[in-house]
Amino acid sequence: MKKILAASLLALSLSACGGPSDEDVLTEERIRASESAPVLPDVQLSENPEPPPAPPEPEEEEPLLNELDNAVEDEVIEAGVPGTIPPAFQALWGVNPSDCRAGDVTGNAIMITGDQILSIASVGSLQGVLDDSPARFVGRFSYDGGEDRREQLVLSGSRNVLVRNGVTYRRCGAGAPTG
């Protein structure tokens, strides 16, 4: 039974293939039509099959110049928005106990007011607020001699410890600062 089934399936599949269609049969007319096809031009092969070299890469651009032909500064400090230094930051701050003399800015002490940071060496005036949150203040300050700097002030330790650009200060009058 299996042999008969296999033979009948084979016969059925061969009959499904069928013979050649009319399109597949070559006639004299089709042979003449193929002989009258246009002649393709001869192709000249190159002796060097390598593609032409890539164009050279563009040269690096020179830095932009301002109207005075000076190079533009890479680290420009944003202008910020008008504002003041929050009251939580305003105080006399010292690195050592000797920095905390009432009314004086001595040694490594800094005095922070609503719009300035004063030290023994310089006075920075607030030009713009860049970031202000309860325990962090960032501002643009203009110092003596026209130098602008970005200052970051961070409070911690019950707001009695101030970190200013990596230097740790303690609030004067809130317990003696330790060095």
DSSP string, 155-167: EETTTTEEEETTE
Q: What percent of the chain has pLDDT over 70?
A: 59
Q: Would you give the DSSP letter of residue 134?
A: T
Q: What is the mean pLDDT of residues 24-42?
A: 68
In a domain, 5, yes or no: no
What pTM was estimated for this model as a whole? 0.54
**12 or 177: which leads in pLDDT:** 12
What gap in Å lies between CA 54 and CA 40, rounded to an integer? 31
What gap in Å lies between CA 139 and CA 78, rounded to an integer? 9
In a domain, 111, yes or no: yes
In a domain, 167, yes or no: yes
Give the pLDDT confidence score for residue 81 in this predicted structure.
83
Domain that holds residue 91: 87-171
Confidence bin at 179 (pLDDT 50/70/90) = very low
Helix then strand then coil, in percent of the chain rounded to 5, is: 20, 30, 50
Half-sphere exposure of 134 (CA within 13 A, CB side): 3
What gap in Å lies between CA 173 and CA 97, rounded to an integer? 10
In a domain, 139, yes or no: yes
In a domain, 124, yes or no: yes
In a domain, 106, yes or no: yes
Three-state secondary structure readout of 23-80:
HHCCCHHHHHHHHCCCCCCCCCCCCCCCCCCCCCCCCCCCCCECCCCCECCCCCCCCC
In a domain, 38, yes or no: no
- Which residues lie below 8 Å from residue 74, measured CB to CB, with a gap of 6+? none
In a domain, 22, yes or no: no
Tally of domains within the chain: 1
The answer, yes or no, to whether residue 146 has pLDDT greater than 90, is no
